[in-house]
Chain A
Amino acid sequence: MSMRRVAVVGAGMTRFVRRALETPKELSWQAARMALDSCGLTLNDVGGVCIGSAPDAFDGVK
């Protein structure tokens, strides 16, 4: 069994600012929108979502 080959096909990133006026959800949405647009895919093409966020205390939510 050989490893399935994997590629990054799209990416998005918000501006890094000292004090964003957007909520964390809005920032995530912007980056995800840019990533999908960059490769011409839609949410229906996405089989799974991975999010990295740690520790919880930084987000102020459990």
Chain B
Amino acid sequence: MNNRVAIIGVGWAGFRPVTPEESYKELMYAAAARAYADAGVDPRRDVDGFVTVAEDFHEGTSIFDEYVPDQLGAAQRPVHTITGDGLHGLAAAVMQILTARFRVVVVEGHSKASNILTLPDITAYALDPILNRPLGVHPIAIAGLEAHAYLHETGTTREQCAGVVVKNRRNALKNPAAAYGAAISSQDVLAADIVASPLSRLEVSDHADGAIVLVLAEAGTARLSGHPVWVRGIGWATDSPSLESRDWTRAVYAERAASMAYTMAGIKDPGTEIHFAEVDDTYAYKELQHLEAVGLCGRGQAGRLMADGVIGPDGRLPINVSGGSLGVGHLLEATGLAKVLEVVLQLRGQAGSRQLRGVSTGLAQSWRGVPTTSGAATVLSA
């Protein structure tokens, strides 16, 4: 699918642990205004469709679709809201453009996590209501169980997982938009309180507020823009969410999603054709598990790559140079769009002091979080 759909504009507002002076609508408006200016489009004249990703229970309103158009300049236009991650929204926008009925489509995702007083309870509400929810398990325990299974099966160590936290929090120091940049040690991570064995508090990403808007266009329009970043492939998949029958050691959804994206992009050997990646790191072990799932290294090898510095900002395969969710902050449904945003900035050469050299193809991968087995991936090239 090369050179058919491109990202021609990006805008963001945030990212901060709390944003008491701005509503989610104001964050969306700020991100959209910047994305439209970046792309050189007028939403009322040039944009043919709008896609938002949002979860009713995170927003505090039923049928959140109705609360989307005004602040995006999308009133009286085709608007489409998806209860999925930002990359699911990106996939929908790409498909709309491929119908040839839409020339320019906007994707929006946001987080006002600081408004949510009962996030773990809402997440627990995602558990199967008949078989699993009555167990009264805190949802983060599912991540702990999975981490144990992954570490046991692959021989990955807790120290290697702690290294992911150290790397991403340090990477975030070079990202002005990141909320949680910090210089900490592996010892700090390992010594922190355990929240769900084996995960310490520092291995769990904290939430941040913010909004991200992307402007996509078909090839003709994209070529007239300043710096198109081409969506070469995109894929998504959901495994069975059943706690009883899922594979607790592998991220099958990420394997499937990446495989679909690679096929579309014509990527045969991701290890050499992908120069850097932003992968889901909601929990530290997830970065390593996802790295293996998307085929950037062999099974059980990611921990060693971490320890050897290969996935550091100066390594052969930089991962989460933005700081990832551990360093930027977890942005609820906008998390996948934060991954895309970093890949776009890197490919444009606009990543400031964290700019990678000689990169022309990157991967963004996302996960829906516990208790889901849903994820998506996209391959982008300058």
Given contacts A62-B55, A62-B125, contact A55 B100 (CB under 8 A): no
Contact with A along B123-159 (1 / 0, CB 8 A): 1011111100000000000000000000000000000
B63 in contact with A54 (CB, 8 Å): yes
Cα A54 to Cα B64 in complex, Å, equals: 10
A3 in contact with B100 (CB, 8 Å): yes
Secondary structure call for the B interface:
loop
Cα A55 to Cα B126 in complex, Å, equals: 14
A57 in contact with B56 (CB, 8 Å): yes
Residues of chain B with a CB closer than 8 A to A62's CB: 55, 57, 122-123, 125-126
Q: Tally chain B residues at the interface, Cβ within 8 Å.
A: 20
Contact with B along A34-55 (1 / 0, CB 8 A): 0000000000000000000011
Closest chain A residue to B4, Cβ basis: A1
B126 in contact with A1 (CB, 8 Å): no
Cα A36 to Cα B346 in complex, Å, equals: 45
Choose among B56, B64, B122, B123 the residue with the greatest number of A CB atoms under 10 Å from its CB.
B56
Residues of chain A with a CB closer than 8 A to B45's CB: none
Partner of B100 from the list A2, A23, A56, A60 (CB cut-off 8 Å) is A2
Given contacts A23-B130, A60-B129, A62-B57, contact A55 B101 (CB under 8 A): no
Let me know if A18 is at the binding interface, CB within 8 A: no
Cα A14 to Cα B284 in complex, Å, equals: 44
Q: Tally chain A residues at the interface, Cβ within 8 Å.
A: 12
Residues of chain A with a CB closer than 8 A to B353's CB: none
Closest chain A residue to B218, Cβ basis: A1
Residues of chain A with a CB closer than 8 A to B128's CB: 61
In angstroms, how far is the closest chain B Cβ from the Cβ of A46? 13
Closest chain B residue to A61, Cβ basis: B129
Closest chain A residue to B220, Cβ basis: A1
Cα A23 to Cα B126 in complex, Å, equals: 16
Let me know if A4 is at the binding interface, CB within 8 A: yes
Residues of chain A with a CB closer than 8 A to B62's CB: 55-57
Residues of chain A with a CB closer than 8 A to B55's CB: 56, 62
In angstroms, how far is the closest chain A Cβ from the Cβ of B265? 17
Closest chain B residue to A49, Cβ basis: B238
In angstroms, how far is the closest chain A Cβ from the Cβ of B142? 14
Contact with B along A1-34 (1 / 0, CB 8 A): 1111000000000000000000100000000000
Cα A1 to Cα B129 in complex, Å, equals: 46
Let me know if B221 is at the binding interface, CB within 8 A: no
Residues of chain A with a CB closer than 8 A to B101's CB: 3
In angstroms, how far is the closest chain B Cβ from the Cβ of A22? 12
Residues of chain B with a CB closer than 8 A to A4's CB: 99
Closest chain B residue to A23, Cβ basis: B130
In angstroms, how far is the closest chain A Cβ from the Cβ of B16? 25
Partner of B126 from the list A54, A57, A61 (CB cut-off 8 Å) is A61
Let me know if B83 is at the binding interface, CB within 8 A: yes
Residues of chain B with a CB closer than 8 A to A23's CB: 130
Residues of chain B with a CB closer than 8 A to A1's CB: 100, 218
In angstroms, how far is the closest chain A Cβ from the Cβ of B281? 22
Contacts A54-B65, A56-B83, A62-B55 known; 12 new A-B pairs at CB < 8 A: A2-B100, A3-B100, A23-B130, A54-B63, A55-B62, A56-B55, A57-B57, A60-B129, A61-B125, A61-B126, A61-B127, A61-B129
Sample of 22 A–B contacts (CB below 8 Å) = A1-B100, A3-B99, A23-B130, A54-B63, A54-B65, A54-B83, A55-B56, A56-B56, A56-B57, A56-B62, A56-B83, A57-B56, A60-B125, A60-B129, A61-B125, A61-B128, A61-B129, A62-B55, A62-B57, A62-B122, A62-B123, A62-B125
